[in-house]
Amino acid sequence: MIILATVLLLTVLFGLWRVLRGPTAADRLLAIQLFGTTGAAFLLVLAMLVDIRALRDAALVIALLAAVLSAALVQYLRRQEKSN
Amino acid sequence: MTRLIAAAHRSGFLAWFICLCLLWAMLSAGQGWYLGLPTAFGASVLAAALRLPAPRPGTLLRLPRFMVFFLRTLWHGGWDVARRALSPNLPIAPAWEKYQLQDHYRDHPLYPRLRLLLSAMVGLLPGTLSTHYDEHTLTLHVLDERQDWRVTTLNLEQELARLLEMEP
Amino acid sequence: MGMTVITPLLYWLSWIFLLLSAGFFIAGTVGMLRFPDIYSRLHAVTKADTLGLGLLVIGLSLRADDLYSVGIMILIWLLVMGSGATACQLLARYGRESEGDTEADDVAS
């Protein structure tokens, strides 16, 4: 289980390389998707590993946030580009 | 009293209220109803006032068949893209394509919802990704144009139409 | 009684699902790093990671203590699937807009 959690964390870390490198803004926004899905998965594994129920609720909140965040950021960036 | 219940049923309030109470039971492990019931009640009133489409029992009955189809294609989609990502020579041939929706659903009142759901779910099928749609066509990004993506999209469209009870 | 046979079986079955899910998460990230453009990367992250989370939820559910946690995990999976399906459309549309819509339309037709 610990190894599984580490692997999940590593996939997020390597994914960050794409965020740093870009090249487009949409590439960077991919990180929200990655964080939302893999982050929720990591928290679910952690909840099982250390037996803390609240971590499952945290995973739920991450999933909810990711859903709203990418929609909001895309909308925000679009509006900014239009005003330029 | 019966008239009140009938009105609650017609407006979709009742269906929403039942679903939201079930959701609360799951989220809170069946505790804290003094908070849960008013919240579910308020949200249901809001849903009925905004005329959100209520969950229908007929759709629930059709859901298992759809889920079987959906989970199967989800597996194929994930497997397909994972295989391509991990194979050394990266076998992809991206292209932009148009997908025309079937004619015989066009006059149905649920057509916009079918189009919306298809556009969203096509992203989980093997090799397809929707960017936007006009009246009758979806614009898709295809991961490999040699792949038979048109058939999978057509299958999804038919299964969705069956789920929404749009079949003629 | 029956539990003594079933529990280890479920335990090993859950490991199969967990290992598979790790494979899909790895593939998703590899695809995100290797694929040549934003749209192909979206394919990788959306499909592989959603499937990975689904398999992980099945694997963890097989060794869960109570039905409530299973329910919450399934709910999380549905939520991630819904948000992933919407977000990948939005991002793809945004990508096309920022690279110039006319060019993209030429490619499409």
Q: A81, C98: Cβ pair inside 8 Å?
A: yes
Tokens 């969203």: give the residue: B120
How far from B4 is each of B10, B11, C35, CA to CA, in Å?
A: 10, 11, 58
Determine the distance from the C-alpha atom of residue A24 to the mean position of all C-alpha atoms in its chain, rounded to a whole number. 18
pLDDT of B139-155, one tens digit each? Answer: 888 888 888 888 888 88
In this predicted structure, what is the pLDDT of residue C100?
A: 66
Tokens of C27: 């593939």
- Give percent of chain A with pLDDT exceeding 90: 14
Contacts of C96 in chain B (CB under 8 A): 131
Q: Given pLDDT bands bounded at 50, 70 and 90, which one contains residue C52?
A: very high
Mean pLDDT of B93-99: 84
In this predicted structure, what is the pLDDT of residue B68?
A: 92
Question: Considering only CA atoms, which of C74, C20, C84 is closest in space to residue C46?
Answer: C84
Tokens 């919450």: give the residue: C72
List Cβ<8 Å contacts ≥24 apart for A26-31. A26/C38, A26/C91, A26/C92, A26/C94, A26/C95, A26/C98, A27/C38, A27/C41, A29/A70, A29/A73, A29/A74, A29/C91, A29/C94, A30/C32, A30/C38, A30/C41, A30/C42, A30/C45, A30/C91
How far from B102 is each of B18, B47, B118, B155, C18, CA to CA, in Å?
A: 35, 31, 12, 11, 39
B31 and B90 co-located in one domain: no
In this predicted structure, what is the pLDDT of residue C56?
A: 93
Question: Considering only CA atoms, which of A60, A56, A63 is closest in space to residue A34?
Answer: A63
Against chain B, the chains showing at least 3 CB pairs within 8 Å are C
B7 and B82 co-located in one domain: no
Beta strand pairing call for B137-142 and B95-100: antiparallel
pLDDT at C21 over 90: yes
Q: A40, C26: Cβ pair inside 8 Å?
A: no
B112 and B137 co-located in one domain: yes
Overall pTM > 0.95: no
Q: C21, A40: Cβ pair inside 8 Å?
A: no
In this predicted structure, what is the pLDDT of residue C103?
A: 46
Mean pLDDT across chain C: 82
* B–C CB contacts, 8 A cutoff, strictly below: 111
In this predicted structure, what is the pLDDT of residue B141?
A: 87
B23 and B84 co-located in one domain: no
Instruction: Between A11 and B135, name the one with better pLDDT.
Output: A11
Tokens 């990591």: give the residue: A42
Handedness of CA A11, B141, B131, A75 (dihedral sign): positive
Range of the domain at B159: 57-163
- CA–CA separation, C61 vs A12, rounded Å? 23
In this predicted structure, what is the pLDDT of residue C54?
A: 93
Q: Contact, C31 vs C48, CB < 8 A?
A: yes
Mean pLDDT across chain B: 84
Separation in Å, CA of B2 to nearest CA in chain C:
34
Q: Given pLDDT bands bounded at 50, 70 and 90, which one contains residue C17?
A: very high
pLDDT at C101 over 60: no
pLDDT of A38-71, one tens digit each? Answer: 999 999 999 988 888 889 889 999 988 888 888 8
Instruction: Between C101 and A49, name the one with better pLDDT.
Output: A49
Q: Which of B76, B79, B81 to mutate to test the interface with C (most CBs of C within 10 A)?
A: B81
**Count: domains in chain B:** 2
B37 and B110 co-located in one domain: no
Q: Chain B: residue nearest C76 by CA?
A: B27
Contacts of C81 in chain B (CB under 8 A): 124
B28 and B73 co-located in one domain: no
Q: Chain C: residue nearest A41 by CA?
A: C53
What is the DSSP secondary structure assignment for residue B91, as one 8-state letter?
-
Q: What is the ipTM of this complex?
A: 0.85
- CA–CA separation, C34 vs B102, rounded Å? 36
**What are residue A73's phi and psi, to 5 degrees?**
-65, -40
Separation in Å, CA of B1 to nearest CA in chain C:
34
Q: Please check whether residue B168 lies inside any domain of the structure.
A: no
Backbone dihedral region for residue B97 (phi beyond 0: left; psi -120 to 50: alpha; all else: beta): beta
Q: Contact, B160 vs B114, CB < 8 A?
A: yes
Q: Which range is least confidently modeled, B33-37, B104-108, C85-89, C92-96?
A: B104-108
B88 and B147 co-located in one domain: yes
Tokens of B139: 């614009």
pLDDT at B124 over 80: yes
Beta strand pairing call for B128-133 and B95-100: unpaired
B29 and B61 co-located in one domain: no
- CA–CA separation, B85 vs B61, rounded Å? 37
* A–C CB contacts, 8 A cutoff, strictly below: 130
Q: Which range is least confidently modeled, A68-72, A79-83, B80-84, C47-51?
A: A79-83
Separation in Å, CA of C51 to nearest CA in chain B:
6
Q: B78, C42: Cβ pair inside 8 Å?
A: no
Mean pLDDT of C33-41: 85
Burial B101-120 (b: 16+ CB within 10 A, else e): beeebeebeebeebbebbbb
In this predicted structure, what is the pLDDT of residue C1?
A: 42
Instruction: Between B64 and C108, name the one with better pLDDT.
Output: B64
CA atoms within 13 A on the CB side of C38: 26
pLDDT at B63 over 70: yes
